[in-house]
Amino acid sequence: MRILIFLSIFLFSNAFSEDELLDINNSFITKYEYGKMLFNNPRGIGCSKCHGDDARGRRIVDFKQEHDKQMFNCTLIAPDIKYVDYETFSKKVNSKKNENLKFPKEQVCDKLIYYANVMPTYFLVEEEIEAIYYYIQNMK
């Protein structure tokens, strides 16, 4: 009897490939729900905290910056990510720093904000990035 039980368990566990078991285990949540979960809390602060619940961006903070004895009123605004293309979205989500751009001397605020690179790095895998992007594109 014990041999029959062991043989049944062994045959059942080998009846499915690893990919089939993975699909079965992940089928409890849709891509939209998974994306929503990651959008709200990927690893720490969620996308919604800066980009808003609708992903259309929002003002984060106003601040003053002194440069060359002049005072500048600056505003840090998280951009609208609702209509960004996937390539740009994917690249920015995991970038550790912004590309090296040149700014005119009078663009003190833009330069300061750009080089501060306030976008956190999440170290998301491609499946997670795709799910967040899918959620953003399909949110009501």
Q: In the chain, where are the structural domains located? A: 29-97+104-136
Question: Which stretch, 6-10, 20-24, 111-115, 130-134, has highest mean pLDDT?
Answer: 130-134
The CATH number of 29-97+104-136 is 1.10.760
Report the chain's mean pLDDT, rounded to a whole number.
Answer: 81
Task: Write the burial class of residue 55 (CB in 10 Å: 0-12 exposed, 13-18 middle, 19+ buried).
Answer: buried
Residues in CB range of 35: below 8 A, 6 or more apart:
131, 132, 133, 134, 135, 136
- pLDDT for 60 equals 92
Quick one: which of 53, 54, 58, 128 has its CA closest to 89? 128
| Residue of higher predicted confidence among 58 and 106 | 58
- pLDDT for 123 equals 83
pTM of the predicted protein model = 0.72
Angle at CA 118, nearest 5°, toward 117 and 124? 95
Could you read off the pLDDT of 60-78 as tens digits, one per residue? 999 999 888 989 999 999 9
